[in-house]
Chain A
Amino acid sequence: GAVVSQHPSRVICKSGTSVKIECRSLDFQATTMFWYRQFPKQSLMLMATSNEGSKATYEQGVEKDKFLINHASLTLSTLTVTSAHPEDSSFYICSARKDSRVPYEQYFGPGTRLTVT
């Protein structure tokens, strides 16, 4: 199998606070993890790519100081939304890629619904 979990599944926070979302690969080691956000009725937009032990690569237009990514181990990556504002409310989804020696596939987590009030 290739199971990816996310925690929490839902979070509501007040404007100005920070929120941390965890992404874990449960039954495989992930050489690379990806973070996406998805607005209602829109597709997934890649925010950043992270490799274990190195700095994340952010997509154009994504503020690295606002969306902090830490890929601490081969099974865990975290996304911290700092000083969240209502416009950060969205569905955040992570995915993980298995060992680069096997055919390319990304496995997605169930997503985290962030609401900033």
Chain B
Amino acid sequence: EDQVTQSPEALRLQEGESSSLNCSYTVSGLRGLFWYRQDPGKGPEFLFTLYSAGEEKEKERLKATLTKKESFLHITAPKPEDSATYLCAVRYGGATNKLIFGTGTLLAVQP
């Protein structure tokens, strides 16, 4: 069955404490992996798209990487304003026009 799984479900960090969030997927014919940030009561905000294994993208304190089975969102020296739920989603060969979302990682960064 096609699945997207994120871990951990929740993560609490101290300000400046770097860590990584994981998104693993079991789909056939990946056609894009997407990372979004969602604040409470808001819609998801687009962060990155990755298309092939080995690809990396960076934006400020965030860096996304992709392998054939999973993606990591690395957060370097996080700040309290990075607190949010981070969602990953995949677009794959069997459903080219839609995204399948994982359940998200709730990140809390304490000052």
Binary interface encoding of chain A residues 45-62 relative to chain B, with 1 for a CB under 8 A from any of its CBs, else 0: 110010000000000000
> Taking the nearest CB of chain A, how far is it from the CB of B32, in angstroms?
6
Known contacts A43-B87, A44-B87: A108-B43 contact under CB 8 Å: yes
Q: Does B42 contact A (CB under 8 A)?
A: yes
Q: A43-B87, A43-B104, A44-B87 are in contact. Are A106 and B99 (CB under 8 A)?
A: yes
**Size of the chain B interface, CB-CB below 8 angstroms:** 22
CB distance from B53 to the nearest CB of A (A): 18
Q: How far is the CB of B46 from chain A (nearest CB, A)?
A: 6
Looking at chain A, what size class is its interface with the partner chain?
A: 20 to 34
Given contacts A46-B99, A110-B42, 7 further A-B contacts (CB under 8 A): A34-B98, A42-B103, A43-B87, A44-B101, A91-B41, A105-B46, A108-B36
